[in-house]
């Protein structure tokens, strides 16, 4: 357990945050809190990805004057992947919020249980 | 042959053993037997058989849906508390199980920050060592996502465009058939926010600084941290502030729907066209001499500067469009 | 550096957990924005300044404003329904 948190601090914390976000998504009945839980899950995964590229004691991936050795910089590849992911995450959040607004205009409640009940009653 | 499965006259075993004992004549006989069709039942008998079959199927379906309906009714009326507790218990158990297995996998990974982890292979070495001379970009991440891996950035721009289309489908109000005046929701009193004195005074100072910072981040994407996405998001935020401070009517006269759609379309087209030319010439070995300039200056890094500006424009206008779709129903 | 990272990660965990326990929606949105800002500091500790800039601009900026705009629109739907019967929502058209 101590080895987990001394060797893999960022990864373990990212997985814990993933679990917390997932629990928030499943256990809350309010739609906006579900969307916040999904956002927390997204950012936890990005933390995990970017911590894969970290190398101890090296510079950030911007060229410094005079340091041309390629083994003096942090791995830039995972950072590029996460950059795309952050923009996709904001797109998904915007779409989910638009859906929530339309659902509220139709059913006048943010509680997912009540929405399902009203939708089923409307079908019959 | 041992006598198994002879109860069923048409079983495969019996047919194969018949064929083997009787030889090909048996097969001939079977084939001619199969050619004469069985006597067709009369229309009434066929109709009654069909009715009985449908009746049985309907009763089965009813019984199943009745059971489901009763279970569902119980779960929403009397058993509501139990159903909810069961769901919550199962949710916690499932999440805990997933986190446990994820933590086990994490503990088997190489330690954080070690040089010999498998993720630090020759790909990153190549991008860093040959990056500045091939792309001209001093920021390795920018050079990677706009030159070596520009296809990924095109895909991500299209995801942004798709999301914008989907939000427009959901939230756009046609001015022509809105019944009555559309309420401006961002207010406590029912009016526009631009009469708010604090907001107007503070945005007079803040908006130029934020817009300038966003433009600087976009233009310096290849030589300092930032790039198209960060600069575009900052510019989008600045436009949201402007829309609140200067009044929504004035900003919507500046950024009309037609201009914004044209700008986004042109930027995407330019990005796709430029990168198509680069891919085509690169794949066929045709040399393409784009001046790389000197590192650390703004006018350098070849195509990366125009592509950064395209991406920044797309992201800024899309974020601003999301905001306007939520508050006004359109650009 | 490890102690700072531990403190920031513990703060992130507390933020994420307390989103479920906040009654007001405004409070949970503000918690999401603080989560994004602290995550941006963590990106700097992981030596990725691009990600820090993008996360600060997108998480605390654009996503926060979109949440507020959605919340304000929900309140506007309530107010319109209370004031004028149908209001001007286009829920009835579709």
Could you list the mean pLDDT of each consecutive 10-residue stretch along chain C, which spans 94 residues?
91 95 94 96 93 93 93 86 60 38
Residue in A12, A86, A95 closest to B167 by CB = A95
Q: Where are the alpha helices (DSSP H) in B108-182?
A: 122-135, 140-143, 150-171
Distance CA B137, CA A58 (A): 20
Which 3 state secondary structure label does DSSP give C91?
coil
Which 3 state secondary structure label does DSSP give B139?
strand
* A82 Ramachandran zone, left/alpha/beta (phi>0; psi -120 to 50): alpha
Judge whether C41 lies within some domain.
yes
- The pLDDT confidence band at residue B34, using thresholds 50, 70 and 90, is low
Using beta carbons and an 8 Å cutoff, which residues of C are at the interface with B? 48-50, 52-54, 57-58, 61-62, 65-66, 69-70, 72-73, 75-76, 79-80, 86-88, 90, 93
Min Cα separation C54/chain B (Å): 4
Residue in C48, C52, C69 closest to B323 by CB = C69
Per residue in B137-186, pLDDT (tens digit) is 889 999 899 988 988 998 898 899 999 999 999 988 776 655 555 544 44
Position B189 pLDDT exceeds 50: no
Domain count, chain A: 1
Position B107 pLDDT exceeds 60: yes
What pairs with residue A59 in β-bridges?
Answer: A73
- Residue B303 pLDDT: 86
Average pLDDT over residues B216-238: 92
Q: Are B314 and B232 in contact (CB under 8 A)?
A: yes
* Window A:31-70, CB contacts with B under 8 Å: 51-56, 60-63, 70
For B68, counting Cβ atoms within 10 Å of its Cβ (0-12 exposed, 13-18 middle, 19+ buried), the class is exposed
Q: List C-alpha distances in Å: B11 to B5, B15, B28, B128.
A: 7, 6, 18, 70
- Residue C93 pLDDT: 37
Q: What percent of chain B has pLDDT over 90?
A: 28
| pTM of the predicted model as reported, rounded to 2 decimal places | 0.82
Could you identify the residue written with the tokens 């510019």?
A: B235
Min Cα separation B311/chain A (Å): 11
Angle between helices C64-84 and A31-51 (to 10 degrees): 170
Position B2 pLDDT exceeds 70: no
Average pLDDT, chain B: 83
Report yes or no: B96 at the A interface, CB cutoff 8 Å: yes
DSSP B256: -
Chain A hits for C42, CB-CB cut-off 8 Å, are: 10, 47
Question: What's the length of chain A?
Answer: 124
Judge: C54–B230 Cβ closer than 8 Å, yes or no. Answer: yes
Chain B hits for A117, CB-CB cut-off 8 Å, are: 76
Per residue in B250-285, pLDDT (tens digit) is 888 889 889 999 999 999 999 999 989 988 888 888
- Domain residues for C16? 2-83
Structure tokens at B278: 């680069």
Distance CA A24, CA C17 (A): 8
CA torsion sign for B15, B21, B23, B26 is: negative
Min Cα separation B250/chain A (Å): 25
Which 3 state secondary structure label does DSSP give B113?
strand
Residues of chain A with pLDDT under 70: 124
Judge: B91–A26 Cβ closer than 8 Å, yes or no. Answer: yes
What are the boundaries of each domain within chain B? 1-33, 52-101, 139-327
* Window B:284-303, CB contacts with A under 8 Å: 295
Could you identify the residue written with the tokens 């809350």?
A: A28
DSSP B297: S
Distance CA B321, CA B260 (A): 9
CB atoms within 10 A of CB B94: 13
Report yes or no: C57 at the A interface, CB cutoff 8 Å: no
Chain C hits for A34, CB-CB cut-off 8 Å, are: none
CB atoms within 10 A of CB A40: 28
Q: Are B310 and B257 in contact (CB under 8 A)?
A: no
- Residue C87 pLDDT: 44
Average pLDDT over residues B116-120: 82
Q: Which residue has the higher pLDDT, B52 or B302?
A: B52
- Residue A2 pLDDT: 78
Q: What is the ipTM of this complex?
A: 0.91
Chain C hits for A58, CB-CB cut-off 8 Å, are: 47
Domain count, chain C: 1
Q: How far apart are the first and last CA of chain A?
A: 54
* Window A:10-29, CB contacts with B under 8 Å: 10-12, 15-16, 18-19, 22-23, 26-27
DSSP B89: H
């Amino acid at each position: 357990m101590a080895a987990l948190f001394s060797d893999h601090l960022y990864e373990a914390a990212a997985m814990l945050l993933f679990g917390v976000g997932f629990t928030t998504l499943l256990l809350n009945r309010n739609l906006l809190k579900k969307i916040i839980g999904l956002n927390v899950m997204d950012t936890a995964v990005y933390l995990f990805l970017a911590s894969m590229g970290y190398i101890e004691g090296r510079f950030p991936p911007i060229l410094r004057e005079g340091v041309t050795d390629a083994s003096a910089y942090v791995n830039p590849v995972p950072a590029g992947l996460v950059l795309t992911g952050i923009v996709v995450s904001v797109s998904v959040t915007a779409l989910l919020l638009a859906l929530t607004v339309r659902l509220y205009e139709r059913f006048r409640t943010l509680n997912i249980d009540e929405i399902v009940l009203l939708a089923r009653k409307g079908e019959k | 042959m041992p006598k198994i499965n002879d109860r069923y006259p048409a079983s495969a075993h019996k047919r194969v053993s018949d064929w083997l004992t009787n030889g090909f004549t048996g097969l001939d006989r079977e084939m001619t037997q199969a050619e004469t069709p069985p006597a067709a039942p009369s229309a009434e008998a066929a109709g009654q058989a069909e009715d009985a079959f449908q009746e049985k199927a309907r009763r089965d379906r009813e019984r199943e849906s009745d059971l489901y309906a009763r279970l569902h009714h119980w779960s929403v009326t009397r058993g509501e508390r139990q159903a909810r507790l069961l769901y919550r218990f199962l949710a916690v158990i499932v999440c805990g199980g997933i986190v446990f297995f994820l933590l086990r996998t994490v503990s088997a990974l190489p330690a954080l920050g070690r040089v010999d982890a498998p993720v630090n292979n020759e790909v990153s070495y190549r991008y860093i060592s040959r990056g500045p001379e091939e792309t001209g970009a001093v920021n390795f991440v920018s050079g990677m996502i706009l030159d070596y891996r520009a296809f990924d950035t095109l895909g991500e721009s299209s995801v942004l465009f798709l999301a914008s289309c989907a939000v427009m489908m959901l939230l756009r109000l046609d001015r022509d058939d809105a019944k009555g005046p559309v309420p401006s929701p961002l207010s406590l009193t029912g009016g526009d926010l631009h009469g708010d004195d604090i907001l107007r005074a503070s945005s007079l100072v803040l908006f130029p600084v934020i817009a300038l910072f966003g433009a600087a981040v976009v233009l310096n994407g290849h030589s300092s941290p930032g790039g198209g996405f960060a600069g575009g998001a900052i510019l989008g935020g600045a436009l949201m502030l402007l829309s609140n401070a200067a009044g929504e009517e004035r900003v919507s006269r500046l950024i009309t729907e037609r201009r914004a759609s044209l700008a986004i379309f042109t930027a995407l087209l330019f990005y796709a066209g430029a990168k198509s030319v680069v891919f085509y010439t690169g794949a066929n070995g045709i040399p393409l001499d784009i001046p790389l300039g000197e590192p650390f200056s703004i006018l350098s890094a070849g195509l990366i500067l125009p592509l950064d500006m395209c991406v920044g424009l797309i992201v800024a206008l899309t974020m601003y469009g999301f905001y306007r779709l939520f508050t006004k129903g359109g650009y | 550096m490890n102690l700072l990272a531990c403190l920031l990660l513990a703060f992130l965990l507390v933020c994420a957990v307390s989103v479920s326990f906040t009654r007001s929606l405004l409070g949970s949105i503000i918690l999401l924005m603080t989560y994004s800002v602290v995550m941006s500091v963590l990106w700097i500790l992981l030596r990725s300044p691009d990600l820090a800039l993008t996360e600060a601009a997108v998480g605390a900026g654009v996503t926060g404003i979109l949440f507020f705009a959605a919340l304000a629109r929900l309140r506007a739907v309530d107010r319109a329904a209370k004031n004028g019967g149908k209001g001007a929502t286009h829920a009835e058209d579709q």
